Amino acid sequence: MGEARIGIYGLGTMGSALALNLAEKGIRTAVTNQEPEWIAPFLTEAGPLAANLVPSETLEDFVASLATPRTILFMIPSGTPVDAMIERLRPLLGEGDTLIDGGNADFNDTRRRVADLEGTGLHFVGMGVSGGEEGARHGPSMMVGGTDHSWTQLQPMAEAIAAKFNGDPCVAHVGPDGAGHFVKTVHNGIEYADMQIIAEVYGLLRDGAGWDAARIGALFGEWRKGPLDSFLVEITAEVLGVTDPETGRPMVDLILDTAGQKGTGRWTVIEALKLGQSATAIEGAVAARSWSSEKAARGVASGMLPGPDGAELPDEATLEAAMLAARILTHAQGFRVLAAASEEFGWSLDLARIAEIWRAGCIIRSALLDDLAGALRGEMPEGHLILTPAFRAKLAETIPALRTTVIAAMQAGLPVPSLASALGWYDAMRQATGTANLVQAQRDFFGAHGFVRTDRPGATHGPWHKG
């Protein structure tokens, strides 16, 4: 039997950083990689930390170097590579061993893998890891799914390497099977919306007010000292201040305006819809990335589709408050999706704990998350964050600014899909009597789908086609 407490398969950027983080915390860590030639340079990079790393070139040696029950973390591309690795490792493993997928996996795949391994004695854990390379190396936020047995093995190591918020490790066993990957997916959905809201305000200042990158960066730098304090606002301020050494122009002005996406934002929207929810601010962000990829069409359309001549934009304080309102609504939508999934899959997610482990280490870490954690610990009327006393008060203060900003953007002809969708949701939620009565009447008229009357229970039909 080996002595390494955990093994990492996959020495790419994230795998290497996590292995070094574990080694630094005094945890003996077995390492291997599909291409064995990556191992030696990694050990050189590890320097003195290599004393806590146990390298192997074959899977057999890797497995043999681990203490039992074994804990193996895959840091490999999600999808079929994970299935292939499970199949290769299965014959080498025994009762009580745990396989962990630390990638951004589709939680449906994670649930399938957990079900496939049921009864084999092996455990499968989907673990969301946030914070990029820097986080993985010095303290990520981790959202762990799977069994209590696996968590017992992993907990001391995960807590040792996790980011800390006032000493509290930003890692939790959020629920069984796919819960960890689901929570990470929603984290990324919020990440998309958070980034998009920032980009929309950047667009208003650049295209509406004619500000240059450095000036906008300086404003974001100011904002991060207040209630908008967050990692994403901080890096935005920094990014906007960087100059291209070759041309002397702001770096951001030289970057092609087509955004990539690997899928987690889209998954959040898809899963929300499947759960009968709708995270519209996140959907606005996914849509904006998709539209951004139609670069050629936008170029043509810009000369063909007229818009307004421009309009006066709100002042900086109004934009700041508008961003805060939109961020609150985005997070509220994300947590609503988590609550719906928890109910659907019987996960008993502790939403306050999820907010707590997002306060440090992860990409969406922000001052707002600490406030959210507090509100989620208290009573949530109708399961909605926006109805908690703390957030009702914050929204009462900031929604007028969001409304002013959205109106101004629309009058100026500048796109704000996430800001506008967030406001649309807020206004829909305020309507005690909405307009779905008419939709129901239409459905019944053309398809006899039935409706419920307000003055008596049970489904009925309308007197539409009488003569």
Binder among 97, 177, 191, 371 for ligand 6PG (CB under 6 A): 191
CB 105, min distance to ligand 6PG, A: 11
Instruction: Give the integer Cα–Cα distance in Å for 19 and 31.
Output: 8
CA 308 to chain CA mean position, Å: 35
Q: What would the DSSP string read from start to end of 350-406?
A: -HHHHHHHTSSSSTT-BHHHHHHHHHHHS--GGG-GGGSHHHHHHHHHHHHHHHHHH
CB 363, min distance to ligand 6PG, A: 4
CB closer to ligand 6PG out of 185 and 405:
185
Tokens of 6: 């955990």
> Should residue 188 be labelled a site residue for ligand 6PG when binding is judged by CB under 6 A?
yes
> Should residue 261 be labelled a site residue for ligand 6PG when binding is judged by CB under 6 A?
yes
DSSP state of 250: B
Interaction mask 347-366, ligand 6PG, x per CB under 6 A: ---------------xx---
CB 300, min distance to ligand 6PG, A: 27
Instruction: Give the integer Cα–Cα distance in Å for 40 and 36.
Output: 8
CA 360 to chain CA mean position, Å: 14
Beta bridge partners of 73: 8, 100
Q: Per CB under 6 A, which region of 167-175, 259-267, 320-328, 349-357 contacts ligand 6PG?
A: 259-267
Q: Per CB under 6 A, which region of 17-25, 64-72, 257-265, 450-458 contacts ligand 6PG?
A: 257-265
For the chain, the residue count is: 467
Phi and psi angles of residue 9, each rounded to the nearest 5 degrees, phi first? -105, 115
Q: Per CB under 6 A, which region of 26-34, 129-137, 418-426, 448-456 contacts ligand 6PG?
A: 129-137
Beta bridge partners of 9: 32, 74
> Should residue 293 be labelled a site residue for ligand 6PG when binding is judged by CB under 6 A?
no
Instruction: Give the integer Cα–Cα distance in Å for 215 and 236.
Output: 12
Helix (H) or strand (E) holding 233: helix 231-240
CB closer to ligand 6PG out of 128 and 208:
128
CB closer to ligand 6PG out of 207 and 234:
234
CB 205, min distance to ligand 6PG, A: 23
- Among residues 133, 184, 222, 271, the one annotated as catalytic is 184
Query: By rule CB under 6 A, what count of residues binds ligand 6PG?
Result: 13
Phi and psi angles of residue 366, each rounded to the nearest 5 degrees, phi first? -165, 165
Interactions with ligand 6PG, residue window 90-109 (CB under 6 A): 104
Tokens of 87: 């199949």
Active site (annotated) includes residue 466: no
Binder among 2, 10, 15, 131 for ligand 6PG (CB under 6 A): 131
From the DSSP assignment, how many helices (H) and strands (E) are in the chain?
19, 12
Instruction: Give the integer Cα–Cα distance in Å for 423 and 403.
Output: 7
Binder among 132, 203, 221, 462 for ligand 6PG (CB under 6 A): 132
Active site (annotated) includes residue 184: yes
Phi and psi angles of residue 465, each rounded to the nearest 5 degrees, phi first? -110, 35
CB closer to ligand 6PG out of 69 and 361:
361
Residues that bind ligand 6PG in the complex, under the rule CB under 6 A? 104, 130-132, 188, 191, 260-262, 264-265, 362-363
Active site residues: 184, 191
